[in-house]
């Protein structure tokens, strides 16, 4: 099993400073002969700082930055832009919606059907099954090994491990096989668990969905 350690922010001193933040100003004295501090850029002499001093100054700033909490680091490195929301799914015809009654696969393949089914399960406080199924579908489209490991960790912690926030109802054998698969993650690591959850939704959730008022309106 992969081990995914988490980074923790280190405490910082009150006097530390981040690039781009204004700090207290002190009067700059003209360098004197024998001064222990070499002149910097902009000093009275107008001489550029030596490469050694510039490297030391940058190293000091980096050390200060790394001691700052995440909020300070975000000042330098902003979060990536949020992805755009997907276009609104087209409402199906009554004939198309009728096919969902006997086929969960066709229901989930339809964007409007998937959104409607997910909304229905949320109203019953049982959305963990469809969210797990969707996460598995996204995982199987992953091509980067690094991204695969990252997503496998997230799915395991959110849906598989004991007392996970959205733990799905799978049997002990399926859970054991899934955990074994995650020692070396592959595109099929969650296949058995996903099939179990699909069967559970097909047997239990789909019949309740087709009896709902929302679905009845779709097929009129």
Confidence at 65, pLDDT banded by 50, 70, 90: very low
- Are residues 109 and 197 located together in one domain of the fold? yes
Looking at the fold, whether 99 and 189 belong to one and the same domain comes out as: yes
Whether the per-residue pLDDT at 161 is higher than 60: the answer is yes
Measuring CA to CA, how many Å separate 10 from each of 2, 4, 67, 71, 74?
A: 25, 19, 6, 12, 15
- Most confident stretch, 9-18, 67-76, 178-187: 178-187
- Is 136 strand, coil or helix? helix
Is residue 88 in a domain? no
Which CATH number is 130's domain given? 1.10.167.10
* pLDDT higher than threshold 80 for residue 183: yes
Are both 189 and 115 inside the same structural domain? yes
CA nearest neighbour of 219 among 87, 105, 102, 89 = 102
Do 73 and 104 fall into the same domain? no
> Does any domain span residue 179?
yes
- The per-residue DSSP string of 33-79 comes to TT-SS---TTSTT-PPPPHHHHHHHHHHHHHHHHTS-HHHHHHHSPP
Sequence-distant (≥ 6) Cβ neighbours of residue 205 within 8 angstroms = 117, 121, 126, 129, 130
Distance, CA of 2 to CA of 153 (rounded, Å):
8
Residue 31 lies in a domain: no
* CB < 8 Å & 24+ apart, contacts of 154-158: 155/190, 156/182
Higher-scoring residue by pLDDT: 174, 57: 174
Count: domains in the chain: 2
> Is residue 123 located within the same domain as residue 207?
yes
Write out the residue range of the structural domain in which residue 201 sits. Answer: 94-218
Same domain? 69 vs 163: no
Same domain, 152 and 100: yes
Q: Which percentage of the chain shows pLDDT scores above 70?
A: 60
Identify whether residues 68 and 132 lie together within a single domain: no
pTM higher than the cut 0.85: no
Domain membership of residue 211 (yes or no) is: yes
Residue 131 pLDDT greater than 70, yes or no:
yes
Q: Are the C-beta atoms of residues 19 and 65 closer than 8 Å to each other?
A: yes
User: 167 and 69, same structural domain?
Assistant: no
């Amino acid at each position: 099993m992969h081990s995914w350690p988490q980074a923790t922010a280190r405490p910082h001193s009150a006097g530390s400073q981040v690039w781009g933040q204004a700090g207290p100003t002190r009067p700059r004295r003209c360098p004197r002969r024998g001064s222990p501090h070499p002149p910097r850029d902009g000093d009275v002499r107008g001489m550029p700082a030596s490469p050694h001093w510039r490297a030391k100054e940058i190293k000091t700033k980096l050390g200060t930055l790394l001691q700052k909490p995440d909020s300070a680091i975000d000042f330098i490195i902003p979060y990536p832009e949020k992805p755009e929301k997907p276009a609104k799914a087209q409402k199906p015809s009554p004939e198309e919606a009728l096919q969902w009654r006997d086929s969960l696969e066709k229901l989930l393949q339809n964007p409007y059907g998937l959104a409607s089914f997910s909304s229905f399960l949320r109203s019953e406080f049982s959305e963990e099954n469809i969210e797990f199924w969707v996460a598995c579908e996204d995982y199987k489209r992953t091509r980067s090994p690094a991204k695969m490991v990252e997503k496998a960790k997230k799915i395991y912690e959110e849906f598989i491990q004991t007392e996970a926030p959205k733990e799905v109802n799978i049997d002990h054998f399926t859970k054991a096989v899934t955990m074994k698969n995650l020692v070396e993650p592959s595109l099929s690591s969650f296949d058995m668990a996903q099939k179990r959850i699909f069967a559970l939704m097909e047997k239990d959730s789909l019949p309740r969905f087709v009896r709902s008022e929302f679905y009845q309106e779709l097929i009129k």
